[in-house]
Structure 1
Amino acid sequence: MTAATMPRMQLRLTPRGHLWLEEAVDAPTLDDKVAARLAETFGRGIGYGLLQLGAGEIGQSLPPAFIWWRDFAVRYVEAVCLYGSGGAGEKSSPAALATIAPPAEAELATLVLTAPMMPGAEYLTVDILRKLWADLGTAFTASFAAAGTDLQAFLKTLNPAWNLIGRVHFNLAENRRDPERPFAFLATYTTRLSAQARAQHVPLGQALREYAGAANRDKLLSLLMPVQRAAEHVSWLKAMVDAGEIFHPLRWSPTEATRLLDSVPDLESAGVVVRLPAHWRAGRPSRPQVTATVGSRPPSGTGLDALLDFRMDVTLEGEPLTAEEMASLLAGTETLVLLRGQWVEVDRPRLDRTMRRFKEVQNLAEQEGLTFAEAMRLLAGTEATGDDESAAAADWAHITAGAWLTETLRALRSPDGAGVDPGPALKGRLRPYQRAGVEWLHLLSGLGLGACLADDMGLGKTIQVLALLLIQKRTRAAPKPSLLVAPASLLANWAAEIERFAPELNARIVHPSAMAAEDLKQVTVEGLSGLDLVITSYGSLLRLPVLGQTPWHFVVLDEAQAIKNPNAKQTRAAKALKAEARIALTGTPVENHLGDLWSIFDFINPGLLGSVKEFGRYTKALAERPHNPYGPLRDLVRPYILRRMKTDKTVIADLPDKTELKALCPLSRKQAALYAETVTDLVRALQDADGIRRKGTVLATLMRLKQICNHPSQWLNDGKWAEADSGKWARLREIAEVVAARQEKMLVFTQFSEMTAPLAAYLGGIFGRSGLLLHGDTAVKNRKALVQTFQEDETVPFFVLSLKAGGSGLTLTAASHVVHFDRWWNPAVENQATDRAFRIGQKNNVLVHKFVCQGTVEEKIDALIEAKKGLSEDLLAGGDEINLTEMKDEELLRMVALDLRSVMVE
């Protein structure tokens, strides 16, 4: 089976702490037999799947996320082995095994911090790990009880590597009284657990006496199985086993002790536990380290090319070694050397290579300077080249940030917002986390470095950018203009937010929706120089060369996932823009794979992650590391990404429970043509209409216009429902893709029952799973079951409801997004529908998306709803209900008139 045909599987953690195994196009490949076993066991339940990972897939080559979950499950199986090693012939009952406690909170917290990048990693908590530990226990005890055998035999059916009589330990200790043979070796095995759940050891030789006789032969063989397995790969151990020396205490020389150290991976993979002197940190003797300090002083220059200082030393336990000590270490032949009263492990070739590499860096820094990008790669433990030698040398080298760089990184990683103030020019209040975000952007841009503001949807990326622009306008004497690039459908949103929060910014939309074609042709570099902000679309970067010729202060990309494809023309155009600093805004910095992250970083900080080929080799090498493989990459990119989530308690406490957003939607050409035709028909109809007839004509026209704004197929009844025909369809996709990526749920309300089925079919294609729908024809007796399914079934991602049927009386707090696909004239009805999710029992913030087709009657009705003061009395009737049928002809036609420049976006 080739890699192309191997199953692609991933493990996904849901917001409720369930772990699902699923197929995904961009997931890593699995061996087909492994995939089949995992599919079968995860199909039985999460605990059974984890048990198969931990007990059945030992030694298998797996992707990083599977390895991490396997390591978690192994902890449980190891605890079972230790708990169940009470003695030969003793059966451990399922009830007894069910009482095994999970690891300590500190260990679980460390596991959470070292989790690899995987779908749902942001939901991982200590409590969820405890719950999954309990699921493991339930699956294990149920399987054990069903097997009807003893613990030893049961675990053997899962994998022969699990030995139930006891675990063999190879113990190495220092023996300072014997200078010729300064180490002692003893093989032991565990017989039981103490009251403190610690394994108690007896010499392995005692097993020969305890299991003497033919009746105990199988038990003795079982005990020695890990040793026999290890001896197949470790020649010195085979000789010891053949000679019977493994059963006796031995005095060892440094060379013999080194053999054990070098064989630790083979021994542990065979099931032998290696115990080294307790004062050896991380299970190894101390090592001399080549250390360096980078960035002690402020750099010369800005950006990734800023030059920093670099100083090298060789240390032991943090203390510099003298030249004589270094010469002594390098001149010897033994791997273990007694230095300063302690045993030191020396890999002379590697130590020498590392010293020479650091010396070259120091010479470069002294002669030419070390760039900020090079310093960050060194500091993160990688040079983004995929060089295996660099990764291996990291164990023998340590680079720390100097005083200036330490303080800079602290400010970047933990901004507090104390140092920024856009002043009264910002017509709004920055929340604490937003103020911190502005400070972070200000600090990075001041250093000439790029930034990726990756806040979750609804946390206010827009106002943070506007505040930054206002600060720049106030503090720079003659600022260059900045450029904002956004999807065409969001240009009007930005204009509205500028008018609301930063009206002092001199901003211009350079796009066909806001400027005539002739005016666009006349745009020049000089003409843009007097502006604070130029706003355009990704498509316009290709059509307007002047944008690439203009020197910008900032270039800001909104919805920056638009450049995730490095080969796309618009990606190349965006990366070719000239700017002093670059900012990417996105709620999904990694949509499908790490290549997305590389492309964004290639825009904000070109070269930091190397070339695309270098990055590919580097991430492939990282994925092969057994523990916390992506730690170096996280360290490298962390200063340049600011990510806050709605689920973060420090953010939730500062946010309102409900945030309402206007989703401004363009019209397609087909929609615009049908809309204009309808308005023309209305003009003719009003000439002959009066009284009831006039009111009926107006209502019918308004309904027709709303249907066209939704989708032409709703009015034409042609059954096509093409995505390209509706601006709302496209906007719904943008929102739904983010909701799907976050594994959240959404409600979609429409006043038209005939829209529910097409919406449900369209959303099903986006989410990859079916949702639910409810309208007036849904039997009342079935509605309770639909609500219960939506509330309890995590696989149901959305619920489409007609406003009248589902807008009241239901509790749908599983949803954290509410979409009003078409607007009701009465805002109270909309609010009531929103309250299906925003009510008692809701644990998450609710984002409300109100769809409005710009340049149409929907936008004007929205303005009337939002700004009721100043309206003529004949526009309002019955409280908040807006009555358009009583308008005069002239007012009505102004209300439904089509603004062609703003409705269509290409």
Structure 2
Amino acid sequence: MVRINKTATSPALGAEKEKGKQKFAQTSWGSAWLNALRQFDYSNRLPRGRSYARGGRVKDLKIRDGILEARVKGQRRSAYKIYLRLMPFTAAQLETINRVIGENPAFAAELAVGKLPADLASVFESQGIQLFPGSWDEVDADCSCPDWANPCKHLAAVFYVLAQEIDVDPFILFSLRGLSKEELMGAAGFAGEVEREDRFVPLTEVALPPDEAFEFSLAGLDKKASGAIFSLLADKPLFYRGENFKKLLVKAYKNVAAAVEELEVVESGATLRPAGIRILYHGEGQPLFTAAAFVWPDQIPPFGADDKAAMMSVPVLEKGKYRVRRFRGIKTGAPALLKMFLEMPLLLDGSPEIKFLSAAASVALALARASAFVPEAVHLKTGHFYISYRPLSHDADVLALIDLLTKLMPPELIFFRKNKTVMPGRQGVEEILSLYLAHIVREYGNIEPDDKLCLSFFRMADYRPEKFEEKKTGKAVADWLGSLSGFTGRFGPLVRIELPVGRQKKFRFFLDVADREDPLAPPLPLADLFAGADAFCRPAGEVLAMVARQVAAAAGYCPELKEMLANKGERALAMGTDEVSRFLGEGKEVLAMLGIRMLLPKELRSVVAPKLVLSARSKGKHVTYLSVAEMVAFDWEVSLGEMRLSGEEFKKLAIGASGIVYYRDSYLLLQPDDVDRILTHLKKPLPKLGPTQLLRAGLTGEAGDVRFEHDAVLAKLLADLHTEINVPVPAGLQAKLRPYQERGLRWLYGNYDRGLGSCLADDMGLGKTVQVIALILKLKEEGKLHRPALVVCPTTLLGNWEKECARFAPSLKVAVCHGPDREAQATGTDVIITSYGVARNDKELLSKKRWSLLVIDEAQNVKNADSAQALAVKSLRADGYVAMSGTPVENRLDELWSIFNFILPGFLGTRKEFGQRFAVPVEKYRDLDRARLLRKAIAPFILRRMKSDKTVVSDLPEKIIKNEYCRLTAQQAALYHEVLEREIKKISDSDGMARRGLVFSLMTALKQICNHPVHFAKKGLPEPHYSGKAEMALALLRQIAQQNEKTLIFTQYKEMGELLVQMLESKLAMPVSFFHGSLQRKAREKLVEAFQHDPDCRLMVVSLKAGGTGLNLTAATHVIHYDLWWNPAVEDQATDRAYRLGQRQNVAVHRFVTLGTLEEKINTMLEAKKELADLTVSAGEIWLSEMSDSELREIFKLSI
């Protein structure tokens, strides 16, 4: 009689133990096979075959219809042929087998997942059935060699190799006796497996994607215990000769999770938004990891070294139908393209491909971070296999994300060019996620491969069997991983746990069957299925097959399930608190991964786990923002749902208590890891929080990784942050503030009064500057401006600030600190205005002073926290800080951190802490809870009103006109002065019509110089940094682009229009159309149609003469007059191309004026003298030619 060792993964009697040599019979079943042969090998022939087998002499081995055929290399040139068959089961034996399996379906279920139950042989033996041969008479074998012995060494070699095959696939023992796997499964009443459907479909069969809104958040994806999940795997699988392959896999998962937690968003992705993308599949049976990608248009930036320009025909959706169109673009490796998406924030405003691939990248990273993915062996037609990493297919949160991606995926994304087919739907989604996950494991698994198997698992290389013993590696790997792959069937087990009844202390455990596709359908008791009743309108056998496979896969981790299957669900099992706590803890993840649901009583559904709480109590009733850190005492508490325990109380509870604990009329779950972590914290000194850290903890309810709670005194202090201080508008302000601007003044003043910073983030055009000027003036009138306020802004805005201060607060003494002779003179000055460049270069000088208020305009200039400019600005000291920005976050949340690091240093933690706690969760995973907490934290310190807000719109005029002041660059100033001096002499020496012509010529030349030196010189590079106006236009248009609004730019000169198109397209990387008088009617109509209706056409340059009348361009919300006509009627006509009947939005008009030049002086005269303005309506610019030489010199001269 052959006995089977109960430990199926450990070598039994006779197993090979020679270290470093090829091993045979590493399982109890393989060993039992060799032991059976040894019992009747009286001539000791078997050992001779071992060296042959170990030497690789067995070249081929196949089993078909119960017959084994092999070839063994001997002394001759050609290999010897081997034939082997065991005595088939008799009809009576088959009947007994059917009965035994039918009475215990757990046996067949284990066989179905590659497991041979250890006690199956003994059960058969008790029924008189031997699985293994008892003598040579039961072995029908033959070898073509001349050796008469039985067995010869060639046959003996095959016996050893067969032991190796049985290790991998124990079902061979039945096959050799004439019993197929399908027949065995049928004996248990299980149906066969359903084959997977073809993945690719013709374009004509593709359904159009749904056009619907969706919510996207990865916040609910909890981290999975990879150790618990991999507990289903054997430690030392047969296919690996190293120490412990499972440890390698667990290590890779932990490395991946840790690396993903540390990832930062480094790409903005803005240039990819409009791109079209196709993933080009190479052919059936090929991994998608080897695919290429085609991206168009070809202006897209490079992805990798393998980029190649290409013309390619790909499917596109046009007017509700899929058509194949040819495009010029870039062909690159799919992994190189998708790597870029992994480094980008979540983009949901680009082309359909961009939205899907970006969302899929975020999902893949979330899966990797949560260890919610598993390896799977994929077999190729070539006999090779590769490892694919796929999402946990039965986690509810993962399924929801896959469903969402399925709706989002463009069906034509994955394209098989040869057959003109595509891979749409869920299969396409899972392939893309697998591609991402493969890249993540390869990049961050951090396992150095030392053999071809590790290369397959951790470097995504195909495993190509080269030796005979490697041919079953794919089957062994697939069986080993089988329990992790999940089950995609409709039906699955449902574990039902009920509370102890009466005085009983044991919980009761039931096993039912649930329909996953119909959650409302009542579960069916397992016993009813075994009674033969159809389940959910399907045959009972088919349903049982799905259920049994899942139970068998989970049996190693949860033997209770196997026991329930063995008794056919006829008896409930009794379970203690330790077993139940295992189900409620990491066991829940294992069961969920296998598609096994749980049904718990309400008392266990609401079971609470202990949470550590940092409690803050004020030491007195009077606490200020500056003294809050010194006036607060901290203590540790432990939260148990609604209960609170002190640290000492929890220590007493934790002594001797674990698992499910009944405490104060409710159930608690005390997992050892949770308890140890809390007890470790309780031993540490209490943390010390500074004022800004305490404010953040109070506003968010978090202090690091623990909850934060506070008393009523602190609650009132935090509530006061949202309370406005009633502050009258300063008496000296020469402006009528609108209601929302008055609110802004009160908010700025309140934060300044509390010693806190502010970020004024109103939309462009809502008057941020006048609100800040009002604050400075208010501080002066109240005697709080003991030292000057320092305003730091872009060079292009220096003139604006100077003019706005003079206009709205003439009582303020203002100085501009800029230029080679600059001086930050504090004495007798209220406001000093300087540029970011000066702040950087004069850092040491400016940082020696302390300012009453430090204001930074266009605060996105400090968004790069590591730049010298940002570091210089943040080194300046002041009593209060104000940041102004219409776009506080242009591309990434890291920019918000940088601004807050200026107005309230330390409030959002270190840059790394902010990235891990807020930036990456929000940007990459769209974590709405983290976003809500961030908004809650920053709400008191950032004020953002948008033009679309109803409370603001009612306050606004419909047309907002603003002068935008800039300065000449050094090149412009030198050229201006040179031309003026030369031409004014000519004017002085002439009269009459000649003089008038020279005046017009000079005026035109100076206006052209103000526009751009190349406009005047007609040669040179049209670079923006040569022109103050061009630089200002770029800065303004970048802000407008952030708001996805459209702009018209008017210029008098066609040449300047052409220069603007060149500069703007180059620097903004967006198309710029040009409407001018030389265009034919159809071309004009096409431009207007595109501007009005194409969302990607957001910028149009218009020749003032060509576009002055008759155009309807109401899509524009911004109008820029790059150069002024000095005729209000003409200017208004141009503006009214956007602001006219049909316009539903406010229109902002930006009039560019160059300081110190004829532009500023003439504009001032026009605004100051109404009668002169009336004159120009009819006379245009003729009046300039009538001025005297001295008047002309005064107007034209450079005053800077």
Taking structure 1 as the reference length, what is the TM-score of the superposition? Answer: 0.75
| Larger mean Cα displacement after TM superposition, 663-672 or 791-800 | 791-800
Per the alignment, residue 602 of structure 1 pairs with 901
1:258 aligns with 2:558: no
User: Which of the residues 1184, 1189, 1199 maps onto 1:889?
Assistant: 1189
1:440-451 to 2 correspondence within 5 Å?
440-451=747-758
Q: Does the CA-based 8 Å contact 1:156-1:162 persist in structure 2?
A: no
Q: Which moved more, 1:749-758 or 1:709-718?
A: 749-758
Q: What corresponds to 1:491 in structure 2?
A: 798
1:403 and 2:712 correspond: yes
Aligned partners of 1:343, 1:675: CA distance in 2, in Å? Answer: 84
Do 2:701 and 2:708's aligned partners in 1 also have CA atoms closer than 8 Å? no
CA contact (8 A) 2:628 2:691 kept: yes
Question: CA deviation digits over 1:647-695, x for unaligned, max 9?
Answer: 3333333333332222211111221122112222332222233332222
* Alpha-carbon spacing, 1:603–1:754, altered in 2? closer, same or farther (3 Å): same
Q: Check if 1:752 corresponds to 2:1034.
A: no
Q: For the residues of structure 2 that align with 1:538 and 1:79, how far apart are their CA atoms?
A: 48
The corresponding residue for 1:586 is 885
Counterparts in 2 of 1:450 and 1:478: CA distance versus 1, 3 Å: closer
Any idea what SS the aligned residue of 1:662 has?
Answer: strand
Matched, 1:718 2:1041: no
* Distance in 1 separating the partners of 2:684 and 2:1106: 73
What SS does the corresponding residue of 1:884 show, helix, strand or coil?
helix
Check conservation: 1:233, 1:266, Cα contact below 8 A: no
Deviation at 1:822, TM superposition (A): 1.1
Per-residue Cα deviation, 1:413-469 (whole angstroms, up to 9, x for no partner): x45x56222332222233333233223322222222222222222222212212222
1:688-707 alignment runs, 5 A limit = 688-707=989-1008
The answer for the alignment partner of 1:109 in structure 2 is none
Q: Residue 337 of structure 1: which of 661, 680, 683 is its match?
A: 661
Distance 1:610-1:323 versus aligned 2 partners, 3 A rule: closer
Which one of the candidate residues 531, 553, 566 is aligned to 2:829?
531
**Which deviates more from structure 2 when the two are superposed, residues 488-497 or residues 843-852?**
843-852
Asked if the contact 1:337–1:346 (Cα under 8 Å) also holds between the matched residues in 2, the reply is: yes
Between stretches 889-898 and 292-301, larger displacement belongs to: 292-301
Residues 141-152 of structure 1 correspond to what in structure 2 (within 5 A)?
none
Q: Secondary structure at the match of 2:759?
A: strand
Alignment deviations for residues 290-325 of structure 1 (CA, whole Å, 9 cap, x no partner): 352456844357289665444554444434447996
Residue 690 of structure 2 corresponds to: 371
| Counterpart-to-counterpart distance in 1, 2:877 and 2:500 | 66
Rate the CA distance shift 1:347–1:235 in 2: closer, same or farther, 3 A.
Answer: closer
RMSD (Å) for aligned C-alpha atoms: 5.0
Give the aligned residue type for 2:692: A
SS of 2:810 mapped into structure 1? coil
Distance 1:840 1:596 in 2: 39
Aligned with residue 165 of structure 1, among 486, 490, 515? 490
Range 887-896 or range 297-306, more displaced: 297-306
- Aligned partner letter, 2:1112: T
Look up the match of 2:193. none
By how many angstroms is 1:276 displaced? 4.5
Q: Counterpart of 1:849 in 2: which secondary structure?
A: strand
Whether the 8 Å contact between 1:561 and 1:600 is mirrored in structure 2 is: yes
The reply on whether 1:645 has 2:943 as its aligned counterpart is no
Residue 853 of structure 1 and its aligned partner are, at CA, apart by: 1.0
The answer to whether the Cα contact below 8 Å between 1:147 and 1:154 also exists between their aligned partners in 2 is no
Residue-by-residue CA offset, 1:242-285 (whole Å, 9 max, x unaligned): 7577897655433222222223344445555555445667x653
1:789 to 1085, 1090, 1112: 1090
The residue type equivalent to 2:768 in the other structure is K
Shift of 1:342: 1.2
Q: Which residue of 2 aligns with 1:318?
A: 642
Alpha-carbon offset, residue 749 of structure 1: 1.4
CA 352–201 in structure 1, closer or farther in 2 if over 3 Å, else same = same
1:771-819 CA distance string (max 9 Å, x none): 3221111111122222222222222231111122223333323332221
Alpha-carbon spacing, 1:436–1:886, altered in 2? closer, same or farther (3 Å): same
1:54/1:729 Cα in 2 relative to 1: closer, same or farther (>3 Å)? Answer: closer
Shift of 1:627: 4.2
CA deviation after TM superposition for structure 1 residue 843, in Å: 4.2
Q: Is the 8 A contact 2:496 2:598 kept in 1?
A: yes
Query: Can you list the C-alpha shifts for 1:99-143, whole angstroms capped at 9, x where unaligned?
Result: xxxxxxxxxxxxxxxxxxxxxxxxxxxxxxxxx999759979xx9
Distance 1:158 1:630 in 2: 27
Given the alignment of the two structures, is residue 878 of structure 1 paired with residue 1197 of structure 2, yes or no? no
Give the Cα–Cα distance (whole angstroms) in 1 for the partners of residues 555 and 1014 of structure 2: 71
CA contact (8 A) 2:609 2:640 kept: yes
**Tell me, what secondary structure is at the counterpart of 2:962?**
strand
Q: 1:221 to 1:14 in 2, by over 3 A?
A: farther
1:678-689 equivalent positions in 2, closer than 5 A: 678-689=979-990
Letter in 2 for 1:789: A
Partner of 2:733: 426
Distance of aligned partners of 1:224 and 1:872 in 2 relative to their CA distance in 1, 3 Å threshold: closer
Which moved further from structure 2: 705-714 or 610-619? 610-619
Residue 457, structure 1, aligned to residue 764, structure 2: yes
- 1:493 deviates by 0.9
- TM-aligned CA deviation for residue 502 of structure 1: 1.9
Q: Mind listing any 5+ residue stretches in structure 2 that lack a counterpart?
A: 1-258, 275-294, 304-332, 373-390, 434-484
* Residues 2-81 of structure 1: pairs in structure 2 closer than 5 A: 32=336, 61=366
Listed as ranges, the matches of 1:242-321 within 5 Å are 243=566, 250-263=573-586, 264-269=588-593, 271-278=595-602, 285=608, 287=610, 290=613, 292-293=615-616, 297-299=621-623, 302=626, 307-310=631-634, 312-321=636-645
State whether residues 165 and 222 of structure 1, in contact with CA within 8 Å, keep that contact through their aligned partners in structure 2.
no
- Pairing of 1:749-788 with structure 2 (within 5 A): 749-788=1050-1089
CA separation of 1:332/1:737 partners in 2, compared to 1, >3 Å: closer, same or farther? same
Q: Aligned with 1:816: secondary structure?
A: strand
Instruction: Tell me: higher relative CO, structure 1 or 2? Use CA pairs within 8 A at least 6 residues apart.
Output: 1
Any idea what SS the aligned residue of 1:343 has?
A: strand
> Which letter does structure 1 place at the counterpart of 2:709?
T
Counterpart secondary structure, 2:873: helix
Using the alignment, how far apart are the partners of 1:565 and 1:155 within structure 2?
A: 36
The verdict on how the C-alpha distance between 1:320 and 1:630 changes in structure 2, with shifts beyond 3 A counting, is closer
* Residue 824 of structure 1 pairs with residue 1134 of structure 2: no
Cα pair distance change 1:409/1:795, threshold 3 Å? farther
In 1, Cα distance between equivalents of 2:692 and 2:1179: 62
In structure 2, relative to structure 1, the CA distance for the partners of 1:223 and 1:60 (3 Å cut) is farther
CA contact (8 A) 1:377 1:636 kept: yes
Match of 2:117 in 1: none
TM-score normalised per structure 2: 0.58
Q: 1:163–1:222: 8 Å Cα contact kept in structure 2?
A: no
SS at match of 1:455: coil
Judge conservation of contact 1:299–1:306 (CA < 8 Å) in 2.
no
AA of the residue aligned to 2:806: E
> Which segments of 5 or more consecutive residues in structure 1 lack a partner in the other structure?
16-20, 83-131, 385-389, 902-906
* CA distance, structure 1, for counterparts of residue 270 and residue 571 of structure 2: 46
Q: Is the 8 A contact 1:292 1:400 kept in 2?
A: yes
Total equivalences in the alignment: 801
SS in 2 for 1:499: helix
Change (3 A) 1:669 1:474: closer
CA 341–721 in structure 1, closer or farther in 2 if over 3 Å, else same? same
Map Cα deviations across residues 702-726 of structure 1 (whole Å, 9 max, x no partner).
1111111111111111141122211
Structure 2 residue 487 is matched with structure 1 residue 180: no
Q: Does 1:732 align with 2:1033?
A: yes
What amino acid is the match of 1:791? Q
How far is 1:746 from its partner?
1.8
